[in-house]
Amino acid sequence: MSYKLSRRKFGQLALVGTVVSGLSCLTNKALAQTPSLKIIGISSGSMIGTDETAIPEVNTTELESTTPNNVPTDIKPRGLILQSLITGKAQMLANKSVPLVESNETLSGFTCLSDGTLVVAITPVSTSRKEAIPTRITFLSTPVKTLIVSGLKQNQQLGSLLGTNDGRLIGLVGKKNGTPPIRLVDINVETGEISFISKVKFPEDERISNLAECPDGKLYTSLVESDGDTILVQLDSNQKNPIKLGQLKVNGQAWNNGLQSLICSGTGQLLAFGAMRYQTPNTVYSVDKNSGNMTPLEDFDATQITLARG
């Protein structure tokens, strides 16, 4: 097993075994009220010619890999970039035998399990020549473990991963082009097999994405209506049908572009991540569960986010 880590560059962002640590010192004033908040962002980037101007302190970690089921071997040399919201410093993870992502794939899910293991779902885009290949999930542990997701139809993908408080891994299954119907599923972390959760049923014509669980066990997601408006939704297994809480909005303006991620802090604060249509970069927002009002906290140039745990 080979590691190439710079303590000078990554003293506050390190992958140690299955635990992401060193992320507890917040400097942003807007986030300083929640000192236990440890937000990690993920994106993909080329292993060759990394732009060190855009990401000034990127280092490479080589991780040993096990591949218990068949994974495509002709993957272009691209890696996953983990970045701390606190410092802005980044760490690129790559694997010589099984690189983690290629250019015609998308990061369809990202979460942290209760034991601190980061998990990412990677899916070929619907217009690529490999669109028939199913989603795979990669556990950023030591060694790295990659599983092909079984139980999907050819036109389906797994995304919106969530490591639950009770140690499970769940997600949302929908078509690769993002259209409904959407189903809530359990994912076997040993085999990659999915099983559908029948306690929650989504409308057949509504686009659902993102999953968040708060400390009280309540699940939240977001629903994008046909006009682009985004609705905050609570999932209640007792009522089976999702409960629409309110339209998401910023400064009175309706949110019009879906969300990249939805997470919940240890204090029960719901946080949304994304950007309005035609705007960059993505931003972390606090969300009022009752009104849907979103308050911007911090810009963050990442694709998805999760909370470090364990």
pLDDT in tens, 213-272: 999 999 999 998 877 789 999 998 777 778 999 999 999 999 988 899 999 998 999 999
Q: pLDDT at residue 201 above 90?
A: no
- The Cα 212–Cα 232 span in angstroms is 11
Give the Cβ contact number of residue 175 at 10 Å.
15
The pLDDT of residue 169:
98
| CA distance readout (Å), 181 to 151, 173, 176, 202, 224 | 16, 8, 11, 8, 13
Q: In the predicted model, is pLDDT for residue 142 greater than 90? A: no
Query: Residues 46, 52, 54, CA angle at the centre, nearest 5°?
Result: 90
C-alpha–C-alpha distance, residues 81 and 23, integer Å = 16
DSSP string, 222-272: EEE-TTS-EEEEEE-TTT-S-EEEEE-EETTEEP-S--SEEEE-TTS-EEE
Q: At 74, is the pLDDT very low, low, confident or very high (cuts 50, 70, 90)?
A: very low
First to last CA, the chain: 23
Least confident of 67-76, 97-106, 179-188, 301-310: 67-76
Cis peptide before 180 (omega within 30 of 0): no
Q: If you ran DSSP here, which 8-state letter would residue 8 be given?
A: H
What gap in Å lies between CA 127 and CA 106, rounded to an integer?
11
Mean pLDDT of 102-108: 84
Beta strands 58-62 and 90-94, pairing class? parallel
Cβ–Cβ under 8 Å, residues 279 and 299 = no
Token pair belonging to 8: 């000078």
Cβ atoms of 165 and 213 within 8 Å: the answer is yes
